[in-house]
A and B are shown apart, each in its own frame.
Chain A
Amino acid sequence: MEIDPFIFRLSIFILSIFIGYYVVWSVTPSLHTPLMSVTNAISSVIIVGAIIAALAGSSNNTFDTSSIFGFLAIILAAVNIFGGFLVTQRMLQMYKKKKNNKK
């Protein structure tokens, strides 16, 4: 009998939770705020769904209801991607400066 592909996705999901568990415990507490902003940025990878939705209605009507929701989601996710990664970078940059000052 064939295995439902859902089971494979579930396996990926569960293994990723374990990876997340061990990786996050090793994050130093002083970087917990950048951790939150970077996890926030990467969860915006949901934009792939938004792009698919936005481009799906193209054959007959660019702006059917479904693609409008896709377009809206693109804006939201884009704000998050750029905002999230840049603000993380800005924070991490501050941790760097100090190191250089000390040397």
Chain B
Amino acid sequence: MISANLSAIFYLISGILFILALRGLSSPDTSRQGNYFGIIGMVIAIAVTFLSIGNFSTSIVYVFLLLIVGGAVGSFIAFRIPMTAMPELVAGFHSLVGLAAVFVAIAAFLNPSAFNLGSVGDIKLASLIEMSIGAAVGAITFSGSIIAFLKLRGIMSGAPITFTGQHYLNLILGITIFVLVFYLCKSQSESFFWTVIAISFFVGVLLIIPIGGADMPVVISMLNSYSGWAAAGIGFTLENTALIITGALVGSSGAILSYIMCKAMNRSFISVILGGFGADNSSSNTKDKQDQKPVKSGNAEDAAFLMKNASSVIIVPGYGMAVAQAQHALREMVDKLKKNDIKVTYAIHPVAGRMPGHMNVLLAEANVPYDEVFELEDINNDFANSDVAFVIGANDVTNPVAKTDPKSPIFGMPVLDVEKCKSVLFVKRSLSPGYAGIDNELFYRDNTLMLFADAKKMTEDIVKNLD
């Protein structure tokens, strides 16, 4: 049994180690060390908790048993999950943090004396508010992440689900939560507590269903942020420094990522949350255009010929590459091109894929050196000096309409200037519009060659033709 002061100092140390864990991610070289700091911080926090309780009974056996069971499940998932499934994995993990926060809040509410928060029916006011916030945010994180998971997994359609009065309903439910927390503080009644949790679960679902597939990077970052605030709420309840620090770090981290993602789409955070992107876009208009304009399409042979005669190629990967698992084939293609002394670089738009950094991880998995991979602002000027842009699975992030048509829903969004390349190879299964629901003007340009096929199959065919 160690004193409360000593354990508080250890919790502070583990909080600092968590800060260092994030700090390590500023460069790939220091990132692994950072991860070890995070692990050490976690071990310290858990060990100190055991030591501070001291009074061990039979239940500690169950605690260790469950730790091992949970740890085994977690490790199994971590080793087996394919890199392409990372967005849904992260969404799933967020839901677990949210639910854990709800459970801890419930436990604290039912047995406040264990946490020095007073007694049942007479919980300190501040603690009651803190645990209600922790529980409510945790519940929203849980149900929201479940919906995000289902959408990312494809179990639920990625299309936005909207209905009239949706925003008013959310507003009313939000206000109801505040009113209920107020009465909970006044009456200490259990039923108010349960109702707050139940409504919060419902709000989580309502918040995420109207958000479409392409906005998923924002949703995942947002839920990341929520899971942090939930942890911080619980941290205040438990008066635990490690939890407060971590909650604040995670909360601000998720918020920054959401901001970066919104900025990359030129959309306000509010408009993403309100959802329904492109839902009101008339699709008939798009169809007319498709019929009238000529499209040049080619096969793997043409593409291989074009690239072989180029001196520089820029690859633009997108979500389609992840779906088709084409990253390894792509790397093979690039290796062949490099053998012919062709300069190859990769251009990544911040919202390519379904979560921040999604494309970078897939390319890393395929052993692409990270110094060949560039962010939007670092590479956008190079398109004008390059021979071929190879767009694989990206769409909206290359649409020149964002620069030219003020009426377009994506107008103002920073896009990759692929059309400035001498020629553009566009791998796509069909001419269908992207997630924004708008036609890509690029398809009809003279210097664009459409390659209609599955991204992986097409890339493999090109590899064969490069020999």
Indicate if the CB atoms of B70 and A78 lie closer than 8 Å. Answer: yes
In residues 33-70 of chain A, which contact B (Cβ within 8 Å)?
A: 33-59, 62, 64-67, 69-70
Q: Return the contact of A52 from the options B53, B78, B103, B231 (Cβ within 8 A).
A: B53
Indicate if the CB atoms of B100 and A50 lie closer than 8 Å. Answer: yes
Indicate if the CB atoms of A85 and B231 lie closer than 8 Å. Answer: no
Shortest C-beta distance, B216 to chain A (Å), equals 12
B75 in contact (CB, < 8 A): yes
B204 in contact (CB, < 8 A): no
Indicate if the CB atoms of A58 and B57 lie closer than 8 Å. Answer: yes
Indicate if the CB atoms of A75 and B244 lie closer than 8 Å. Answer: no
Indicate if the CB atoms of B74 and A78 lie closer than 8 Å. Answer: yes
* Bound: A34/B360 CA distance, A: 10
Q: Return the CB mask of A60-103 against B: 1 if under 8 Å, else 0.
A: 00101111011111111111111111111111111111110110
* Bound: A55/B68 CA distance, A: 16
In residues 353-372 of chain B, which contact A (Cβ within 8 Å)?
A: 355-358, 360-361, 364-365, 367-371
> Which chain A positions have C-beta within 8 A of B68?
78
Return the chain B residue nearest A18 by Cβ: B252
In residues 236-259 of chain B, which contact A (Cβ within 8 Å)?
A: 236-254, 256-257
> Which chain B positions have C-beta within 8 A of A55?
53, 55-57, 59-60, 63
Return the chain B residue nearest A95 by Cβ: B28
Tell whether A39 pairs with B228 under 8 Å between CB atoms, given A45-B42, A91-B361. yes
> Which chain B positions have C-beta within 8 A of A24?
22, 249, 252-253, 256-257
Indicate if the CB atoms of A23 and B238 lie closer than 8 Å. Answer: no
Indicate if the CB atoms of B111 and A57 lie closer than 8 Å. Answer: yes
Shortest C-beta distance, B256 to chain A (Å), equals 5
* Bound: A83/B251 CA distance, A: 20
Task: Please choose the segment from B87-95, B423-431, B438-446, B449-457 that sits at the chain A interface, where 4 or more of its residues have CB less than 8 A away.
Answer: B87-95
Indicate if the CB atoms of A75 and B242 lie closer than 8 Å. Answer: no
> Which chain A positions have C-beta within 8 A of B96?
44, 76-77, 79-80
B interface, how many residues as a size bin? 35 or more
Indicate if the CB atoms of B114 and A53 lie closer than 8 Å. Answer: yes
Indicate if the CB atoms of A66 and B107 lie closer than 8 Å. Answer: yes
B306 in contact (CB, < 8 A): no
B18 in contact (CB, < 8 A): yes
Q: Return the contact of B257 from the options A19, A35, A97 (Cβ within 8 A).
A: A35
Task: Please choose the segment from B32-40, B288-296, B379-387 that sits at the chain A interface, where 4 or more of its residues have CB less than 8 A away.
Answer: B32-40
B contact patch SS: helix
Indicate if the CB atoms of A49 and B240 lie closer than 8 Å. Answer: yes
Indicate if the CB atoms of A42 and B249 lie closer than 8 Å. Answer: yes
Tell whether A33 pairs with B357 under 8 Å between CB atoms, given A51-B53, A77-B96. yes
Q: Return the contact of A43 from the options B28, B247, B370 (Cβ within 8 A).
A: B247
> Which chain A positions have C-beta within 8 A of B1?
none
Return the chain B residue nearest A74 by Cβ: B66
* Bound: A69/B110 CA distance, A: 10
Return the chain B residue nearest A44 by Cβ: B97
* Bound: A43/B449 CA distance, A: 47
Indicate if the CB atoms of B59 and A52 lie closer than 8 Å. Answer: no
B27 in contact (CB, < 8 A): yes
Indicate if the CB atoms of B245 and A30 lie closer than 8 Å. Answer: no
Shortest C-beta distance, A73 to chain B (Å), equals 4
Shortest C-beta distance, B62 to chain A (Å), equals 6
Task: Please choose the segment from B43-51, B151-159, B410-418 that sits at the chain A interface, where 4 or more of its residues have CB less than 8 A away.
Answer: B43-51
21 A-B contacts, Cβ less than 8 Å apart?
A9-B241, A13-B244, A17-B252, A23-B19, A23-B23, A24-B249, A28-B28, A29-B357, A30-B373, A35-B257, A37-B86, A40-B94, A43-B246, A48-B46, A55-B53, A66-B107, A70-B104, A72-B103, A79-B74, A79-B77, A93-B32
A: residues with CB less than 8 A from B are: 5-6, 9, 12-14, 16-17, 19-21, 23-59, 62, 64-67, 69-99, 101-102
List 4 A-B pairs, minimum CB-CB distance, nearest first: A78-B70, A56-B114, A32-B357, A83-B74
B: residues with CB less than 8 A from A are: 11, 14-15, 18-19, 21-23, 25-29, 31-32, 34-35, 38-39, 41-42, 45-46, 48-50, 53, 55-60, 62-63, 66-75, 77-79, 81, 83, 86, 89-90, 93-94, 96-97, 99-101, 103-104, 106-108, 110-111, 113-115, 126, 220-221, 224, 227-228, 231-232, 234-254, 256-257, 260, 348, 350, 355-358, 360-361, 364-365, 367-371, 373, 375
